[in-house]
Amino acid sequence: MKTIAVITGASSGMGREFVYAIDKDMELDELWVIARREDRLLELQPQVRAKIRPVVLDLLDRNSLSQFKALLDIEKPDVRVLVNAAGFGLFGTYTEMDMEKQLEIIDLNDRALTGMTYITLPYMPNGAQIYNMGSMSSFQPVPYINVYGASKAYVLSFSKALRVELAERNIRVMAVCPGWIKTEFQQVAQHDKYIHYVDKWYGPDEVAAQAMKDLGKKKLVSILGHPVRRQVRLVKFLPVKLVMSIWCKQQGIK
């Protein structure tokens, strides 16, 4: 039985960095990398030790989950790691943005993540690991990136509760909740009109390295950087209305 890791969103950004981090940290037979762009997945092979297996799927297509399940049923691998890194967001006013695009945020960030986890868990042994990509937005409502922030709040809650449910199998589940990361997400989000203030940028490689380290320490949530951790602590105690007001003031939004 081959030992593998499964990484969604592996063609760029956080998914790609998790491919490198896992390959560096673990001895696995194959890395199953999932994304829509096969050419970007094939580019990974010269950069890692394990065999890259491109799994070309569009997780916004509901048939993709059944296709992946069929692949698992045939191969019956030993899945040591699952990384749910596929996701996207849009900045803008809720009523002015395209409804279908906003529903796609929920479908990819939440529905696909939940489905991938459910489908993969039967093939995960005791001691396996699950990384779910959350966000600093997981901890607070965020006007003008409303649906994205709400979708990441789901990821945080889902990950924490699932960790408890899987404790008997010693499967560690962790939400990765970084601040601002320089990835293709920023290009897709089209944020220039609304985002004018960023306290600090982090590299996706830094986020992945911190996540691997934090899961080894059995943390529920991985948060990179003192400014982000400080903000997370503050929003737990400040009134929600004040938190949203501060955010809007920082970005110059009235």
Query: Which positions are catalytic?
Result: 148
DSSP classification of residue 203: -
Residues in the chain: 254
DSSP classification of residue 52: E
| CA dist., res. 38 & res. 54, Å (int) | 7
Contacts of 138 (CB under 8 A, 6+ apart): 149, 152, 153, 155, 156, 175, 177
Maximal CA-CA distance, the chain: 58
Instruction: Give me the phi and psi of 31, to 5 degrees please.
Output: -115, 115
